[in-house]
């Protein structure tokens, strides 16, 4: 990374080192990075979306971003397996939180979309910390502007493709990807959902998602195939086009992420998740998120540590993608 082809590197901010300022010290920002208020100042913006108005069961994900910032101070600079040094590849920063309105679901969806539209228009790529999974919908509405429908690699215990809840209500954290497909934000043929499980309301519940072409890897199939084979197929499915990665921590077994709204026992492990995220390497990632971290349900804080580490893992796949796009642009 020290070569002449990367002259702008020294200008990129780096995280504060824990051997200089102890990890528990100072104001907590994502990954101990500087706080910027103008998205034009970064290439990758880490954003909190403190909102759980789409939650149908246990609330608390609104407190996720702050605790993920706190625990993200455990992250260091270089990925110990891939060797990726994300802060040298792209200018990263904390962009603060998207504005939300706890008193209105509709208004919150608009505020979030507006905030991410500004990021998108400034040319930056977002890595978000939820919040419940409904936040992914306004994020996708914002960032896919000017792009074809996105591919998705989606880690979750639930497909989140229900139609309506509570008598016709179309927006909850159980519906975002039905809406995303309906609105043309995501291309169902390029979507893969990994880790889905749990008892169902009816036997035909899986039909819609699979009928539109979404590939669902149920947890039993995941255990049979293993993470490498699953990701090999996932890479084929999403292909070369722009891809969004969404990591719902309830895809993990609840022992790894008890602090979440709709836990479902029998999930994958953090080690398996890390292995899968590392397999995103080389995809044309245009954004990502880690959602459903609900601190009130995990007094140990481990869920937020898991969430922050998954953000770092995604960042180590996202920064090379941003860097590649910069290089392509430069060459043109």
Site for its own copies in 229-258 (CB under 8 A): 253-256, 258
Could you say whether residue 40 binds its own copies (CB under 8 A)? Answer: no
Instruction: Examine residue 292 and tell whether it contacts its own copies (CB under 8 A).
Output: no
Residue 56 sits in the site that holds its own copies (CB under 8 A): yes
Through-space distance between the first and last CA atoms of the chain, rounded to whole angstroms: 22
Residue 3 interacting with its own copies (CB under 8 A): no
Q: Between 40 and 265, whose beta carbon lies closer to its own copies?
A: 265
How many residues line the site for its own copies (CB under 8 A)? 99
Smallest gap, in angstroms, from Cβ of residue 153 to its own copies? Answer: 19
Query: Is residue 87 within a helix (H) or strand (E), and if so which, with residue range?
Result: helix 86-89
Query: Which part of the chain contacts its own copies (CB under 8 A), choosing from 98-106, 117-125, 138-146, 318-326?
Result: 98-106
Indicate whether 26 belongs to the interface with its own copies (CB under 8 A).
yes
Q: What's the half-sphere exposure (Cβ side, CA atoms, 13 Å) at 174?
A: 14
**Which pair of structure tokens corresponds to residue 134?**
């409904």
Judged by CB under 8 A, the residue of 39, 45, 48, 251 near its own copies is 48
CB 222 within 8 A of CB 275: no
Between CA 247 and CA 133 the distance in angstroms is 9
Minimum CB distance to its own copies smaller for 48 or for 287: 48
Interface residue with its own copies among 172, 178, 209, 246 (CB under 8 A) is 172
Cα angle for residues 50, 138, 251 (degrees, 5° grid): 65
Range 174-233, binding its own copies (CB under 8 A): 174, 197-203, 205, 218-220, 223
SS3 assignment, position 31? helix
Minimum distance, C-beta of residue 288 to its own copies, in the bound complex (Å): 17
| CB of 6 or CB of 325, closer to its own copies | 6
Q: Rounded to whole angstroms, how far apart are CA atoms 195 and 217? A: 6
Residue 169 found at the interface with its own copies (CB under 8 A): yes
- CB atoms inside a 10 Å sphere around CB 275: 18
Check binding of 332 to its own copies (CB under 8 A): no
Q: Is residue 265 part of the contact set for its own copies (CB under 8 A)?
A: yes
Binding to its own copies in span 108-167, by CB under 8 A:
162, 164-167
Q: How far is CA 227 from CA 200, 271, 280, 321, 331, in A?
A: 25, 10, 12, 22, 36
Question: What distances in angstroms separate CA 160 from CA 133, 187, 190, 194, 306, one per listed residue?
Answer: 8, 15, 16, 12, 21
């Amino acid at each position: 990374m020290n070569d002449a082809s990367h002259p702008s590197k020294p200008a990129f901010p780096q995280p504060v080192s824990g051997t200089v300022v102890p990890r528990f010290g100072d104001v907590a920002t994502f990954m101990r990075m500087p706080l910027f208020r103008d998205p034009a100042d970064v290439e990758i913006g880490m954003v909190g979306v403190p909102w759980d108005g789409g939650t149908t069961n246990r609330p608390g994900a609104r407190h996720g971003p702050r605790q993920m910032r706190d625990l993200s101070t455990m992250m260091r600079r270089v990925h110990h397996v891939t060797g990726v040094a994300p802060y040298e590849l792209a200018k990263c920063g904390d962009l603060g939180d998207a504005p939300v309105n706890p008193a209105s679901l509709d208004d919150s969806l608009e505020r979030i979309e507006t905030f991410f539209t500004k990021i998108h228009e400034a040319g930056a790529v977002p890595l978000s910390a939820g919040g419940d999974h409904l936040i992914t919908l306004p994020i996708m509405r914002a960032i896919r502007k000017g792009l074809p429908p996105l591919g998705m690699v989606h880690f979750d215990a639930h497909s989140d493709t229900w139609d309506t809840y509570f008598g016709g209500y179309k927006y909850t954290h159980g519906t975002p990807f039905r809406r995303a497909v309906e609105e043309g934000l995501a291309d169902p043929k390029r979507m893969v959902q990994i880790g889905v499980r749990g008892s169902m309301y009816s036997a035909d519940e899986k039909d819609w998602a699979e009928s539109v072409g979404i590939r669902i890897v149920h947890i039993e199939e995941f255990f049979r195939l293993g993470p490498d084979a699953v990701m090999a197929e996932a890479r084929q499915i999403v292909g070369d086009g722009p891809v969004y990665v969404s990591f719902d921590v309830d895809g993990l077994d609840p022992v790894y992420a008890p602090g979440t709204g709709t836990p479902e026992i029998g999930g994958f492990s953090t080690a398996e998740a890390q292995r899968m995220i590392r397999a995103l390497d080389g995809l044309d990632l245009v954004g990502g998120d880690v959602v459903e971290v609900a601190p009130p349900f995990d007094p140990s804080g481990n869920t937020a540590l898991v969430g922050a580490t998954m953000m770092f893992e995604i960042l180590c796949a996202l920064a090379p993608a941003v860097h590649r796009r910069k290089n392509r642009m430069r060459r043109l």
